[in-house]
Structure 1
Amino acid sequence: MSDEVEPGFVRVRLDLSYDGSEFSGWAKQAGGRRTVQGEIEDALRVVTRSARPYELTVAGRTDAGVHARGQVAHVDLPGEVWEEQRGKLLKRLAGRLPRDVRIWSVAEAPSGFDARFSAIWRRYAYRVTDHPGGVDPLLRNHVLWHDWPLDVDAMNEAARGLLGEHDFAAYCKKREGATTIRTLQELSLVRGEDGVVTATVRADAFCHNMVRSLIGALLFVGDGHRGPEWPAKVLAAGVRDSAVHVVRPHGLTLEEVGYPADGLLAARSKEARNRRSLPVRGGCCG
C-alpha cells in the first residue's frame, strides 16, 4: 500500500458516527449482510452518479454491534467529481444515508493522510451499570448490565498494571500474521452520577477483541471474583485465559481518533506499517 494518491484523484477525509446495533460491523462482507462501509459506499456511488464504487479506508474496523461517535475514514475521488460535489456532498449524503449512520464532515485531506495508518491513537469508551434494576431502557443498546456490584477503585488499580507497551496476546483474538504488540496509553474507569461506569481505553491501535477482553477481566476484579493483580498476571502469561470473557459489543463506542500534525502524517503512516516487536529487556553474557 502507498499513501500516494493516484494522479487525477483527491483524497477526502470523512468524519462520521453510527449506532452499530443493526450493523454486522464496519467492513463489507459476503452474503449481503448490512455493514457501515457498505451503506456509505452505496450512498457515495448514488450521490456522485458513479458507475464504479469508491472504497473507503477506515481508522478502526469495529465489530458487529459496536458504535462510533468519532470514526474517521478516507476515500479517493476523481478530481472532477470532487470539484463538482465538494459544496453539496455532505447534504446529499445526509439525504441518502440511513438514520443510524451520519457523516459530519467531508474535507480534502492533507498530504500524506491515511485514515488508518496515520492515526496515533484510538479512544474507546465502554459503559456498564451494576444497578440492581438493570439498564435504563433508553440506554439499553449502549450500556451493559452487570448483575454484581462493582468496586471501581479495585478496577482502576488493576487497570494500572496493564498500561504501557506489551504483547496483548492474552487479550486478543489471534489473527494469522498479525502482531499483538500494542501500547495501552490510558485505561481508567469513572462512575457517573447516573451510576453508569464508563471505562476510557486509549491505545496506538487495538487487536481483535482487545478492548472487550480487557473490560471482561476488569469486571471480574470489580465484582470480587479476582484480585487487582490478576489481569496483569494474565497479560504476562501471554495466552488466553478461559476466565477472561469477551463482553458484549453494545457497551462499546469508538469515541475519537487522534492524528499528528499535518507535516508528520506520511512518516507516521510509514512507521505504522512496520511489524512491531518488543525490545529485548536485560540480557546476559555466557
Structure 2
Amino acid sequence: MEDSTRLRLGVAYDGAEFNGWALQPGLRTVASEVIRALEILFGEIEGFTVAGRTDAGVHATGQIVHVDVPTVKWEALRDRLVWRLRGILPPDVRVTAAEAVDPSFNARFAARWRRYRYRVADATWGVNPLRRLDTLAWPRPLDVERMHAASQALLGEHDFVGFCKQREGATTIRELKQYDWARDEDGIAVATVRADAFCHSMVRSLVGASLAVGDGRRDEAWLAAILTHGERANDVHVVGPHGLTLVEVSYSDDPADWRARIDQTRRLRTL
C-alpha cells in the first residue's frame, strides 16, 4: 500500500455467538467480522492488530485495534466511517470510534495496561434474565470483603503460572496492578482486574480461585500460596467466559512514549 493512514479503532462486542477474537478458518470470530466490514469500505487493509485477543464467549466494551488503510479512502470516509460500519457490521459487534494516529502506534505493544471486569451473581434466585449473558451464577453465598482482602496478596509482578495455561515460548510473568472485589448497586459481586498484560485464562483463574475463598471452601493463605506453585494449579477452577468483559485499554497520550512502551512490552520478562 503506497500511501496509507494508520487508524485506531474502538471496538465493542457481545462475545456469546463468536468463537473468540482471532481469525479461524470456517468459524465466526470478531476479527473476521470487523475485517470483512473494513474491506468492504477500504478494499485493501494491512497490519490489522488487536490490543488483546479474547476467548470464545468473552465480551468487550473497550477493545482497541489498529489498521492501515488507503489514505485517499480514509479522507473520503473520515466523518462517516463509524456510521458506515454500523450499517455493515452485525448487531453483536460495533466499531465505536475511529481516528488517525501516528504510524508508530501499536494497539498491542503500546498498551500500558488492560482492565477487565467479571460479574458474579450469588442471589438465591440466580441471575437477572436480562444480564444472563454477561454474569456468572454462583450457587453459594459470597463474602466479597474477604475475597477483596485475599486478592491484595496477588498484586505486583509475579510468575502467575499457577493461574495460567502455559503456551510454548510464552512467559507467565505479569504485573498485576489492581484486583478489587465489590458489590454494585444491584448486589452483583464485581471483580476489577488490571494488569500490563495477561496470560491465557489468567483472569478467569484468578476469579475462580477467589470465589473458592469467598464461599468458604478455601482460606486466604491458599490463594496467596498459588503464586509459589511453579506450575499450573490443578485445584484452581477456571470460571466460564461469559462473565468477563474487557472494558479498557490504556495508552499514553504522547506518541513519543509509544516506542519506549513497545520496547518494554517486547522484552523477555524475568523476576
TM-score tier, shorter chain, comes to over 0.9
Partner residue of 1:47 out of 41, 44, 47: 41
Runs (5+) with no aligned partner, structure 1: 1-5, 279-286
Q: Which residue of 1 aligns with 2:6?
A: 11
Opposite residue 7 of structure 2, the aligned amino acid is V
SS at match of 1:56: strand
Does residue 1:211 correspond to 2:206, yes or no?
Answer: no
Q: Which residue of 2 aligns with 1:186?
A: 178
Does residue 1:159 correspond to 2:151, yes or no?
Answer: yes
Opposite residue 194 of structure 1, the aligned amino acid is D
Q: Residue 98 and residue 55 in structure 1: after superposition, are their counterparts in 2 closer, same or farther (change >3 A)?
A: farther
TM-score by length of structure 2 reads 0.96
Opposite residue 36 of structure 1, the aligned amino acid is V
Deviates more, 1:134-143 or 1:85-94: 85-94
Opposite residue 187 of structure 2, the aligned amino acid is G
Q: Tell me how far apart the structure 2 counterparts of residues 111 and 9 of structure 1 sit (CA, whole Å).
A: 9
Q: Which residue of 1 aligns with 2:57?
A: 65
CA displacement at 1:110 relative to structure 2: 2.9
Aligned length: 270
Does residue 1:35 correspond to 2:29, yes or no?
Answer: yes
SS at match of 1:82: helix
Q: Tell me how far apart the structure 2 counterparts of residues 151 and 7 of structure 1 sit (CA, whole Å).
A: 58
Opposite residue 114 of structure 2, the aligned amino acid is R
CA-to-aligned-CA distance 1:99-138 (integer Å, 9 cap, x gap): 0111111110135210000001000000001101110000
Q: Which residue of 1 aligns with 2:19?
A: 24
Deviates more, 1:78-87 or 1:140-149: 78-87
CA displacement at 1:88 relative to structure 2: 2.4
| Alignment check: 8 A CA contact 2:45 2:69 kept | no
CA-to-aligned-CA distance 1:142-187 (integer Å, 9 cap, x gap): 0001101101111112101100000101111101100111000000
Matches within 5 A, 1:128-139: 128-139=120-131
Opposite residue 45 of structure 1, the aligned amino acid is E
CA displacement at 1:84 relative to structure 2: 2.4
TM-score by length of structure 1 reads 0.91
Runs (5+) with no aligned partner, structure 2: none
Partner residue of 2:263 out of 241, 262, 270: 270
Q: Which residue of 2 aligns with 1:3?
A: none
Q: Tell me how far apart the structure 2 counterparts of residues 215 and 235 of structure 1 sit (CA, whole Å).
A: 14
Q: Which residue of 2 aligns with 1:195?
A: 187
Q: Which residue of 2 aligns with 1:282?
A: none
Does residue 1:93 correspond to 2:85, yes or no?
Answer: yes
CA displacement at 1:241 relative to structure 2: 1.8
| Alignment check: 8 A CA contact 1:161 1:229 kept | no
Opposite residue 86 of structure 1, the aligned amino acid is R
The CA RMSD measured in Å over matched residues stands at: 1.3
CA-to-aligned-CA distance 1:171-221 (integer Å, 9 cap, x gap): 111011001110000001001231200000000000000000000000000
CA displacement at 1:9 relative to structure 2: 1.6
SS at match of 1:87: coil
Q: Tell me how far apart the structure 2 counterparts of residues 54 and 135 of structure 1 sit (CA, whole Å).
A: 42
Q: Tell me how far apart the structure 2 counterparts of residues 55 and 150 of structure 1 sit (CA, whole Å).
A: 44
Moved over 3 A (4+): 52-55
